[in-house]
Amino acid sequence: MIKTAISGASGKMGKMLIEAIMNHPEFELVAALDHAGSSSIGQDAVAFLGKESNVKITADTACIKVSGAQVLIDFTRPEGTVGYLKVCGEDKIAMVIGTTGFSAEQKNLIDETAKVIPIAFAPNMSTGVNVTFKLLAEAAKLMPDYDCEIVEMHHNRKVDAPSGTAVEMGRVIAEARGQKLEDVAEWTRHGHTGPRVKGSIGFAVLRGGDVVGDHRVIFAGKGERIEIAHLSASREGYAQGALKAAAFLIGKHNGLYNMADVLGLKDN
């Protein structure tokens, strides 16, 4: 059994992960965390499923080690992840990080912590999105002159934009074209923008309702367009991917891994 701790236990992904663990024969929930101000502190971690367990949601990060957790799965906020990185780095506990919206400095901290523990870090843990990254790299190479635009839509509670997935799609496309995303990204357009900058990658962000996560990449050329889209109908795929990542980390050397490593999608 893989002894697993979940942070952000009362969040949308936290609950999805706890449910996935309860239904998985190889995983055991040993700790559930949330931030000190959360109204969930002290509640049974599986109460939302109408069940009872001996795991109560706590803000006390010491419980990760005390519970015997082998891995912490974190879907929270960057500032929360930073705190958990410190604890897991000190206590030598592997981490799966699904949180998005990190600054360059915070990403650097993930890189540094991966020198002392194994970390799987990905803005999207679904198989479909990670296969889509590969399709996008191929499309970008085959259509170097096509205008590329990335459109994403998410629910009205999402706090970071563009989504981590959309940014990663942009990075994959830019790198396939031998560019750096920061050099070619058009993050927003408003007012008299002038004509489209050749070679740029444009982003459009939509927010509304309970949309789980839609990503559409458009390659537009003369008289034609190719669109590659991924649509999530539930969070199940993200949770199952995170459990695959957690299982992958057990026994792995320190280092930073992504879902291509976990799913065996790396080019040889």
Ligand X SMILES: NC(=O)C1=CN([C@@H]2O[C@H](COP(=O)(O)OP(=O)(O)OC[C@H]3O[C@@H](n4cnc5c(N)ncnc54)[C@H](OP(=O)(O)O)[C@@H]3O)[C@@H](O)[C@H]2O)C=CC1
Q: Is 207 in the site for ligand LZUJQKHR (CB under 6 A)?
A: no
* Residue 169 marked in a binding site: no
Q: How far is the CB of 221 from ligand LZUJQKHR (least distance, A)?
A: 27
Q: What is the DSSP letter of 105?
A: H
Q: Is 99 in the site for ligand X (CB under 6 A)?
A: yes
- Six token digits for residue 245: 């990542």
Among residues 184 and 247, whose Cβ is nearest to ligand X? Answer: 247
Provide CB contacts within 8 A for 104, sequence distance 6+. none
Question: Which SS3 state, helix, strand or coil, does residue 228 take?
Answer: strand
Question: Which SS3 state, helix, strand or coil, does residue 259 take?
Answer: helix
Question: Of 81, 113, 165, 258, which lies in the binding site for ligand LZUJQKHR, with binding defined by CB under 6 A?
Answer: 165
Q: Kindly report the length of the chain.
A: 268
Among residues 161 and 249, whose Cβ is nearest to ligand LZUJQKHR? Answer: 161
266 is catalytic: no
Alpha carbon separation from 46 to 15, 22, 23, 204 (Å, rounded): 8, 9, 12, 37
154 is catalytic: yes
Question: Of 158, 177, 244, 252, which lies in the binding site for ligand LZUJQKHR, with binding defined by CB under 6 A?
Answer: 158
Q: Is 124 in the site for ligand X (CB under 6 A)?
A: yes
Calculate ∠ Cα 238-240-241, nearest 5°: 65
Question: Of 4, 7, 58, 124, which lies in the binding site for ligand LZUJQKHR, with binding defined by CB under 6 A?
Answer: 124
CA distance 203 to 183: 14
Omega prior to 123 cis, within 30 of 0: no
Q: Which residues of 227-237 are buried (b: 16+ CB within 10 A; e: fewer)?
A: eeebebeebeb
Q: Is 163 in the site for ligand LZUJQKHR (CB under 6 A)?
A: yes
Q: Which of residues 162-191 bind ligand X (CB under 6 A)?
A: 164
Provide CB contacts within 8 A for 10, sequence distance 6+. 34, 38, 39, 40, 43, 48, 57
Which one of ligand X, ligand LZUJQKHR, none interacts with residue 75, CB within 5 to 8 A by kind?
ligand X
Which one of ligand LZUJQKHR, ligand X, none interacts with residue 73, CB within 5 to 8 A by kind?
none
Calculate ∠ Cα 64-13-262, nearest 5°: 75
Q: Is 70 in the site for ligand LZUJQKHR (CB under 6 A)?
A: no
**Binding string, residues 71-90; x marks residues near ligand X by CB under 6 A:** ----xxx-xx----------
Give the type of residue at 264. G
Q: Is 38 in the site for ligand X (CB under 6 A)?
A: yes
- Six token digits for residue 139: 């499309």
**Under the rule (CB under 6 A), what is the footprint of ligand X?**
8, 10-14, 34-35, 38, 75-77, 79-80, 98-101, 122-125, 164, 238
Q: Which residues are annotated as a binding site for NAD(+)?
A: 8-13, 34, 98-100, 122-125
Q: Which residues are annotated as a binding site for (S)-2,3,4,5-tetrahydrodipicolinate?
A: 155, 164-165
